[in-house]
Structure 1
Amino acid sequence: MANLKPHLSYEDQLIKLENRGMIFSDLDRKQAQKKLANVGYYRLSGYWYPFRKLKIPPPSDKLESRRNENFIENTLFSNIYKLYLFDVKLRNIIFLGLERIETYLKAIIAYELGKISPTAYKDKKIIDNNSHDKHDNWLNNLNILIDKNKSNDCIKWNIEKYNEIPIWAIVEIWNFGTMSKFYGILDDKYKVAICKSMKFLRPNSKNVKLSLKTSLEYLNIIRNRCAHHVRLWNTSVSNNKINLEMFDNLDLNVANLNNDSPELYRIAGIIYMIWSFTLRISEHSDWLETIVNHINDPYYVNAVKYSQMGFNNGSLIGINNLLKLYKQQTE
């Protein structure tokens, strides 16, 4: 087992990067040191990893890095920092989209299941027969969440007055993971009701119900990455199948997507997914325009490898066309 690497001063960190081929010529050393101090060498290392040279031949061990320590020629530290700034803003835009989706889905779940009873979320009758154990675990985690939020006004008031918390109140303390797991264990009848409220063209479709479950799991991963300031721009999520029926309110022909498109499992696919959800909430939104403008910003063009975001062949034509079509339809 290897020894931990020693602490390095900011100047020694710069020297180490220079020795590996990184260029600092467009920054003075104090500026570069300040950026390392503000962000941290280790955090920035995730952004310069794609700029490291590939090993030839590639390693046979999957756990071994595919890249060596030296940087590709003409790798500028300033571009690494631009990529970091690009990612910060990308996370903020993505997070705003997810916040709206979370609020929307909580409202739908509370409305549809509130028809059954105020505490339907506790009832095994609404749960898939094969998921009763998962429901027990979910309820245990919910009780922990309630205990953490016992000073929350709506929780405190309902417990003091009714000794119960109705579903329309308890969703206020759910996190995205609580919500996505709850949808995943529901009986098909209630999944269909939620899909109908979300205006899917074929709410009874198995593809839609399964893809919504998978999509919520994906979005929960992305939401947590955003909340904890984890690198996002070139992230990938597990490749559980998403059927394009999930995007039945988008014309994905303009984005050249199909059910086998690898883009669906990178950040590009997450953008399409958030946009599809957003249009189910409102036909008028500037979210897509905001994120497309950011991705196209020429300030970042030399720093961002769009193919690693999942855009086909590194081209932004598809997402630009999707925005163009939306603007034409809403003029």
Structure 2
Amino acid sequence: MAISFKSIDEQIEILEKRGLKVEDKAKTKKLLLRSNYYDVVNGYSSFIQQSSDKYKEGATFHELYAIYAFDKRLKVVIFEYLAQSEAFLRTAVAYYFSKNYGADYLSSQNFIAQKAPKILGKTQKLIDFQNSKKATNAIKHYSKKYQQIPLWVLVNFFEFGHLNLFFGSLLPKDKVEILNYIADLYKEEYGKSLELLPSDFEIYLINIKEIRNKVVHDNLLLKYSLIKEYPANKNLAFPFNDLKTNTVFYTLLTMRLFLSKKQYIIFVNTIKNRVKNLERCLKTGDSKEILESIGFPDNWYELLTETQVK
């Protein structure tokens, strides 16, 4: 059976028949023309429905749209601090590799043998592409003037997947050196000793990349679960116990590996402010249920405030 096109007026009529109050139809029309009906309605309605085709008594389109807007605003916040996390990781990888090997990032002996061809090919392709551009960039400048590009310059052109691949291809001793540095900073910032295994850390990076992709492509974040579970680490999950390890919230905890305490305080408080804005718009929905859909425990803010956000 073919799916028929529905006008904005017909879309609103469907919502009203399902019990959703549309108090300002002119404004609702404008919002639905700017925001995909499927994204708004199919993505977030479950939070204010009593069944798949019936909204809770008193539920409004304003409330539904507020949940949709919260998801978007949360993604903006997460992206900002993921970018800061990524900058830290780029710096750490570039510093320790350069300390040990200089600009020898195209030498296979400095990487795990079976992984070397892929990372070397990808890196060379990136350099060639940037050098082929008409506009001047840092890679072209260093290539022309010095005939080599320092890794601390080149790494800024890596996409996050490229950065993950580079770290994953490093020799074990170099991974350990970088992770010991990260663990030392973590203890200094958060007061917790942390053993970071390269195999576990690479899963952290995979999951962070997964969340990053959801955020960058503006996909639905609420109700999302990660494909891989994080390896349990009580000093990374502190001060929480018995958390699911395949959630957005667990990812936000792992970002403490890359963010200073000051950065993390601002991050957490910004999320809390977004939650407060959402709660002002809720009539039938429950902010706890919404946050639980991405792994936030009931007392997430209070516990973080008591232990570190001071």
When normalised by structure 2's length, the TM-score is 0.83
Instruction: Give the deviation of 1:246 after TM superposition.
Output: 6.8
Q: Distance in 1 between matches of 2:74 and 2:115?
A: 36
Partner of 1:286: 266
Q: Distance in 2 between matches of 1:145 and 1:240?
A: 36
Partner of 1:14: 12
| SS of corresponding position for 2:100 | coil
Q: Distance in 2 between matches of 1:141 and 1:300?
A: 50
1:179 paired to 2:159: no
Partner of 1:268: 249
Partner of 2:25: 29
What letter matches 1:128 in structure 2? Answer: I
Q: Distance in 1 between matches of 2:64 and 2:27?
A: 14
| SS of corresponding position for 1:115 | helix
| SS of corresponding position for 2:148 | coil
What letter matches 1:23 in structure 2? Answer: L
Instruction: Give the deviation of 1:296 after TM superposition.
Output: 4.2
Q: Distance in 2 between matches of 1:197 and 1:150?
A: 39
Q: Distance in 2 between matches of 1:267 and 1:107?
A: 25
Q: Distance in 1 between matches of 2:202 and 2:66?
A: 35
Partner of 1:38: 34
Instruction: Give the deviation of 1:91 after TM superposition.
Output: 0.9
Superimposed CA distance per residue, residues 47-77 of structure 1 (whole angstroms, 9 cap, x where no aligned partner): 22555566xxxxxxxxxxxxx4x13433432
| SS of corresponding position for 1:239 | coil
| SS of corresponding position for 2:21 | coil
1:48 paired to 2:31: no
Partner of 2:280: 299
Unpaired segments of 5 or more residues in structure 2?
Answer: none
Instruction: Give the deviation of 1:322 after TM superposition.
Output: 1.1
Instruction: Give the deviation of 1:15 after TM superposition.
Output: 1.4
What letter matches 1:216 in structure 2? Answer: L
Q: Distance in 1 between matches of 2:132 and 2:207?
A: 25
1:1-331 → structure 2 map (5 Å cutoff): 3=2, 5-19=3-17, 21-25=18-22, 27-44=23-40, 45-51=42-48, 68=52, 70-74=53-57, 75-136=59-120, 138-139=122-123, 142-143=126-127, 146=130, 151-200=135-184, 205=195, 208-244=197-233, 247=236, 252-253=238-239, 255-257=240-242, 261-262=243-244, 264-279=245-260, 285-297=265-277, 298-300=279-281, 302=285, 304=287, 305-312=290-297, 315=298, 317-328=299-310
TM-align CA RMSD: 2.9
Superimposed CA distance per residue, residues 227-263 of structure 1 (whole angstroms, 9 cap, x where no aligned partner): 222222332211243231671xx6x13x234xxx32x
8 A contact 1:79–1:303 mirrored in 2: no
Instruction: Give the deviation of 1:118 after TM superposition.
Output: 3.4
Q: 1:51 to 1:327 in 2, by over 3 A?
A: closer
| SS of corresponding position for 2:213 | helix
Q: 1:290 to 1:199 in 2, by over 3 A?
A: same
8 A contact 1:126–1:190 mirrored in 2: no
Q: Distance in 1 between matches of 2:227 and 2:204?
A: 11
Q: Distance in 1 between matches of 2:286 and 2:221?
A: 15
| SS of corresponding position for 1:85 | helix
Unpaired segments of 5 or more residues in structure 1?
Answer: 55-67
When normalised by structure 1's length, the TM-score is 0.78
What letter matches 1:275 in structure 2? Answer: R
